[in-house]
Every structure is written in structure tokens, then in C-alpha cells.
Amino acid sequence: MSDDRAALLTILKTLSYEEGEFTLVSGKKSSFYIDAKETTLNPEGMYLVGRMMYRMAREIPGIEAVGGVSIGGDPLVSSVVLAAHLENDDLRGFLIRKEPKGHGTNRWVEGGKNLRKGMNVVILEDVVTTGGSSLKAIEAVEKEGYKVKGVIALLDRLDGGQEAIVSNGYIFKSIFTLKDVRAST
């Protein structure tokens, strides 16, 4: 494991992993919870996630922009776009609303003036469980006219998300899986 990956795993385990009784977005009950925002809003965590997700995005041919669902996706998109800029790369970023705001432009996607219709994009996720949130984000982005190539996650909970995303024709990559976090506890 690289030094950066090991450092990020330590931050994730220390700041984001909790045991107890939780209800997930999917409605499922869980004996643990991973609040990845604690990691992605930590200075070192944000830096490391940005660098790693940037590299992973660049491994997918033709990617021109990265986007994520607010609120969890905000620090991911920001850190990846900044990492790209530091590499003199013009990779663009956008944010996806959970629902259109109901006034003004009534858009799902924010940052559209940095994009063009038909661009190849990837969705960034903090934690993927069943893949439902990712597929909903993909649907919203594709309705806005962008071509989604795949999803990159900080953590895959190994609860069927990867399979759901891949079975719908998209690439799926994650920095860590639940096994990685549990192996280090």
C-alpha cells in the first residue's frame, strides 16, 4: 500500500468509522456507519482524496469533468478540480443538486457554464452502498446532456453498489472497500 493510501486509510478509520446502530440512506439498518465527510473535510484527508480521485479519473479515457451530489460530493469535486489545476490540467467540476431549486434556472447541475453538452464525465461519491444514489445522480446528469462514463468512490461498503452501477453499463472504481477499513481496525 502506498504511503498516501495508508495515510488516507488511517484518517478514514479514525475520523469516519463508527460502530453502533444506524439507518442508512437506503433504509437498511447497519451496525456501523462511515461519515466520509469527516475525512474529506479534514485538510490532509481532502488533499489525499483529491490527488487519488484525480488520478483515478484520468485513468478513464476521455474524462473532461467530475461531479458529485451535494453535500458529500462538494469536497470531493473541489479537491479533484484543485488537484487537476495543480497538474496544469483543465479538468472541470460540477455539483448535482438533490432536487432542482424550483426557481431561477431550475437546474439539477451547477457549474454548467464550465461544461458543454455531450462532455464525458465521472461521478464522485464518498460512500457507495446499494448504488441507488449514484444511479439517481447519473440519471440527472444525463438528462442535462452529459455522458457519464462511471463512478469513483472513496469507499465501497460492498453492499451491491458496484454491481448495480456496472450492470447499468458504467465503470466503477473505489479507493477503499469496507474490507480495507475492517482489516485495519
State the DSSP code for 157.
-
Cα 25–chain centre separation: 15
pLDDT value of position 125: 98
E-strand ranges in 25-170 read 29-34, 65-69, 92-96, 109-110, 120-128, 147-156
Distance CA 157, CA 124 (A): 15
Q: For the chain, 185 residues long, give each residue's pLDDT as a single digit of tens.
A: 689 999 999 999 999 999 999 987 778 788 999 999 999 999 999 999 999 999 999 999 999 999 999 999 999 999 999 999 999 999 999 999 877 666 556 678 899 889 999 999 999 999 999 999 999 999 999 999 999 999 999 999 999 999 999 999 999 999 999 999 998 65
pLDDT value of position 14: 96
User: Where do the H-state alpha helices sit in 64-131?
Assistant: 73-86
The proportion of the chain whose per-residue pLDDT surpasses 90, expressed as a percent, equals 82
Q: What is the CA angle 143-149-155, rounded to 5?
A: 105
pLDDT value of position 27: 80
Distance CA 100, CA 109 (A): 8
Global confidence as pTM? 0.94
The burial of 24, by beta-carbon neighbours within 10 Å (0-12 exposed, 13-18 middle, 19 or more buried), is given as middle
pLDDT value of position 154: 98
- At residue 20, the 3 state secondary structure works out as strand
